[in-house]
Structure 1
Amino acid sequence: MEGCTTVTKADAREDDHEQADLACDAQVQSGEKKGTPINMTQTSKPLAIQKTLDGHTISIMPKVRTTAGHMVEWDRNIIINQLIKETKLSERFHGMPGMQKEEAQDIAKEVERRIRSLELKFLSGPLIREVVNIVLLERGHTEWRNISTRVGTPVYDACEIDLGSGFEAKDNANLQENAETSHKKKADKISKEQYLLLLPPKTADLHLNGDIHIHDLEYLGTRAFCQDWDLRYFFYYGLMPDGSGAKASVAGPAMKAEVAMLHAVKALGSAQTNFAGGQGFYNFLTFIAPYFEGKGYLEIKQLMQMFVYEMTQMMVARGGQVVFSSVQLSPGVPKLWKDKPAVYKGRVHDGTNGTEKRTYGEFEREVRLAFKALMDVMIEGDNWGKPFNFPKPEISIEPDFMEEDGFFNRAHPELPTYEQLYDMTFELAAKFGTPYFDNQLPEYRGAGEGISCYQCCAYQFSANADADASFEDKLMFKDGKHFSMGSWQVVSLNCPRAAYRAKGNDEALFADLKNLMDQSIKLFKTKRSWMESIIENNRMPFATQRPKDPVTGEKGAIAVDIDALVYTIGVIGINEMVQYHVGSQIHESKEAFKFAIRAMTEMEMYGKELSQKHGMEIALARTPAETTCQRFAVSDMLHEEYKDAVLQVVKGDKEAALANIKRTHDLPVYYTNGTHVPPGANVSLIDRINIEHVFFPIVDGGNICHIWMGEGSPDAKGLREFAMNIAKNTQIGYFAFTKDMTVCLNDFHIMSGLKECCENCGSGDVEQLSRVTGYVQAVHGWNAAKRQELADRMRYSSSDMI
Structure 2
Amino acid sequence: MDTCTIETQDKKEEVPERSDKRLKFTGTVQEDMTQPQKQAVQRTLDGHSISVMPKVRTTDGHMVDWDRNIVVNQLMKETGLATRFYNKPGITRKEAQEIAKDTERRIRQMDLKFLSGPLIREMVNMILLERGHVEWRNVSTRVGTPVYDACEIDLGSGFEAKDNANLQENAETSHKKKADKISKEQYLLLLPPRLADLHLNGDLHIHDLEYMGTRAFCQDWDLRYFFYYGLMPDGSGAKASVAGPAMKAEVAILHAVKALGSAQTNFAGGQGFYNFLTFLAPYFEGKSYKDIEQLMQMFVYEMTQMMVARGGQVVFSSVQLSPGVPKLWKDIPVVYKGKVHDGTNGTVRRTYEEFEREVRLGFAALMNVMLQGDNWGKPFNFPKPEISIEPDFMQEDDLFNRAHPELPTYDGLYTLAFELAAKFGTPYFDNQLPEYRGSGDGISCYQCCAYQFSANADADDRFDDKLHFRDGMHFSMGSWQVVTLNCPRAAYRANGDDMALFADLKSLMDQAIKIFATKRQWMESIIENERMPFATQRPKDPMTGKKGSIAVDIDSLVYTIGVVGINEMVHYHTGNQIYESKAAFKFAIRVMTELEMYARELGQKHGIEIALARTPAETTGQRFAASDLLHEEYADSAKQVVQGDLETALAKIKDTHDLPIYYTNGTHVPPGADISLAERIKIEHVFFPIVDGGNICHIWLGEGSPDPKGLKEFAMNIAKNTQVGYFTFTKDMTICLNDFHMMSGLKDACENCGSSNVEQMSRVTGYIQSVSGWNAAKKQELADRKRYKVAGIA
Secondary structure of the corresponding residue to residue 609 of structure 1:
helix
Match of 1:169 among 152, 156, 161: 161
Deviation at 1:67, TM superposition (A): 2.5
Q: Which residue of 1 aligns with 2:25?
A: none
Q: Which residue of 2 aligns with 1:719?
A: 711
Match of 1:510 among 470, 477, 502: 502
CA RMSD of aligned residues (A): 2.2
Deviation at 1:68, TM superposition (A): 3.7
Q: Distance in 1 between matches of 2:471 and 2:357?
A: 29
2:154 maps to amino acid: D
Q: Distance in 2 between matches of 1:451 and 1:712?
A: 37
Q: Is 1:378 aligned with 2:370? A: yes
The normalised TM-score by structure 1 is: 0.94
Q: Give per-residue Cα distances to partners, 1:577-596, cap 9 Å, x unaligned.
A: 00000100010000100000
Q: Give per-residue Cα distances to partners, 1:112-136, cap 9 Å, x unaligned.
A: 1111110112210100000001101
Match of 1:567 among 519, 539, 559: 559
Asked if the contact 2:218–2:268 (Cα under 8 Å) also holds between the matched residues in 1, the reply is yes
Q: Which residue of 2 aligns with 1:524?
A: 516
Q: Is 1:66 aligned with 2:44? A: no
Secondary structure of the corresponding residue to residue 785 of structure 1:
helix
Q: Distance in 2 between matches of 1:145 and 1:9?
A: 33
Q: Which residue of 2 aligns with 1:211?
A: 203
Q: Is 1:79 aligned with 2:71? A: yes
Gaps of 5+ in 2: 1-5, 13-28
Q: Which residue of 2 aligns with 1:627?
A: 619
1:161 maps to amino acid: I
Q: Is 1:388 aligned with 2:380? A: yes
Q: Is 1:245 aligned with 2:237? A: yes
Q: Distance in 2 between matches of 1:408 and 1:689?
A: 36
Percent of paired sites with the same residue: 81
2:91 maps to amino acid: M
Q: Give per-residue Cα distances to partners, 1:83-114, cap 9 Å, x unaligned.
A: 01000000001110100111111111111111
Q: Which residue of 2 aligns with 1:232?
A: 224
Q: Distance in 1 between matches of 2:305 and 2:724?
A: 33
Deviation at 1:56, TM superposition (A): 11
Q: Which residue of 2 aligns with 1:110?
A: 102
Q: Give per-residue Cα distances to partners, 1:179-210, cap 9 Å, x unaligned.
A: 00000000000000000000000000000000
Q: Distance in 1 between matches of 2:210 and 2:245?
A: 35
Q: Which residue of 1 aligns with 2:290?
A: 298
1:287 maps to amino acid: F
Q: Return closer, same or farther for 1:52/1:672 CA change in 2, 3 Å cut-off.
A: same
Q: Distance in 1 between matches of 2:489 and 2:104?
A: 47
Q: Give per-residue Cα distances to partners, 1:326-380, cap 9 Å, x unaligned.
A: 0000000000000000000000000000001000000000000000000000011
Asked if the contact 2:228–2:340 (Cα under 8 Å) also holds between the matched residues in 1, the reply is yes
Q: Return closer, same or farther for 1:369/1:647 CA change in 2, 3 Å cut-off.
A: same
Q: Which residue of 1 aligns with 2:533?
A: 541
Q: Is 1:268 aligned with 2:257? A: no
**Structure 1 stretch displaced more, 330-339 or 790-799:** 790-799
2:167 maps to amino acid: L
Asked if the contact 1:240–1:250 (Cα under 8 Å) also holds between the matched residues in 2, the reply is yes
Q: Which residue of 2 aligns with 1:590?
A: 582
1:486 maps to amino acid: G
Q: Is 1:355 aligned with 2:347? A: yes
Secondary structure of the corresponding residue to residue 568 of structure 1:
strand
**Structure 1 stretch displaced more, 601-610 or 103-112:** 103-112
Q: Which residue of 2 aligns with 1:402?
A: 394
Asked if the contact 2:333–2:349 (Cα under 8 Å) also holds between the matched residues in 1, the reply is yes
Secondary structure of the corresponding residue to residue 84 of structure 1:
helix
Match of 2:82 among 63, 66, 90: 90
Q: Give per-residue Cα distances to partners, 1:413-438, cap 9 Å, x unaligned.
A: 00000000000000000000000000
Match of 1:796 among 770, 788, 791: 788
2:164 maps to amino acid: N
Q: Which residue of 2 aligns with 1:195?
A: 187
Q: Which residue of 2 aligns with 1:3?
A: none
Deviation at 1:61, TM superposition (A): 2.1
Asked if the contact 2:153–2:174 (Cα under 8 Å) also holds between the matched residues in 1, the reply is yes
Asked if the contact 1:686–1:801 (Cα under 8 Å) also holds between the matched residues in 2, the reply is no
Q: Distance in 2 between matches of 1:349 and 1:712?
A: 49
Q: Distance in 2 between matches of 1:651 and 1:45?
A: 73
Q: Which residue of 1 aligns with 2:686?
A: 694
Match of 1:138 among 102, 106, 130: 130
Deviation at 1:65, TM superposition (A): 1.1
Q: Distance in 2 between matches of 1:236 and 1:740?
A: 42
Asked if the contact 1:48–1:59 (Cα under 8 Å) also holds between the matched residues in 2, the reply is no
Deviation at 1:60, TM superposition (A): 3.4
1:548 maps to amino acid: K
Q: Distance in 1 between matches of 2:784 and 2:99?
A: 58
Asked if the contact 2:611–2:693 (Cα under 8 Å) also holds between the matched residues in 1, the reply is yes
Asked if the contact 1:722–1:801 (Cα under 8 Å) also holds between the matched residues in 2, the reply is no
2:234 maps to amino acid: D
Secondary structure of the corresponding residue to residue 798 of structure 1:
coil
**1:269-668 map, 5 Å:** 269-668=261-660
Deviation at 1:166, TM superposition (A): 0.3
Q: Distance in 2 between matches of 1:257 and 1:389?
A: 24
Asked if the contact 2:59–2:118 (Cα under 8 Å) also holds between the matched residues in 1, the reply is no
Q: Return closer, same or farther for 1:202/1:714 CA change in 2, 3 Å cut-off.
A: same
Deviation at 1:283, TM superposition (A): 0.1
Q: Which residue of 2 aligns with 1:17?
A: none
Secondary structure of the corresponding residue to residue 779 of structure 2:
helix
2:420 maps to amino acid: L
Alignment coverage as a number of residue pairs: 771
Q: Return closer, same or farther for 1:48/1:641 CA change in 2, 3 Å cut-off.
A: farther
Secondary structure of the corresponding residue to residue 327 of structure 1:
strand
Q: Distance in 1 between matches of 2:440 and 2:64?
A: 71
Deviation at 1:662, TM superposition (A): 0.7
Deviation at 1:801, TM superposition (A): 9.4
**1:669-688 map, 5 Å:** 669-688=661-680
2:684 maps to amino acid: E
Q: Distance in 2 between matches of 1:270 and 1:784?
A: 32
Secondary structure of the corresponding residue to residue 250 of structure 1:
coil
Q: Return closer, same or farther for 1:801/1:616 CA change in 2, 3 Å cut-off.
A: farther
Q: Which residue of 1 aligns with 2:24?
A: none
Q: Return closer, same or farther for 1:147/1:664 CA change in 2, 3 Å cut-off.
A: same
Deviation at 1:712, TM superposition (A): 2.1
Asked if the contact 2:218–2:479 (Cα under 8 Å) also holds between the matched residues in 1, the reply is yes
1:539 maps to amino acid: R
Q: Return closer, same or farther for 1:389/1:7 CA change in 2, 3 Å cut-off.
A: farther
Q: Distance in 2 between matches of 1:163 and 1:299?
A: 44
Q: Which residue of 2 aligns with 1:755?
A: 747
Deviation at 1:50, TM superposition (A): 3.4
Match of 1:739 among 696, 716, 731: 731
Secondary structure of the corresponding residue to residue 144 of structure 2:
coil
1:83 maps to amino acid: L
Q: Distance in 2 between matches of 1:675 and 1:233?
A: 36
The structure 1 segments of at least 4 consecutive aligned residues displaced by more than 6 Å after TM superposition are 6-12, 43-49, 52-57
The normalised TM-score by structure 2 is: 0.95
Asked if the contact 1:10–1:77 (Cα under 8 Å) also holds between the matched residues in 2, the reply is no
2:122 maps to amino acid: E
Q: Distance in 1 between matches of 2:89 and 2:346?
A: 60
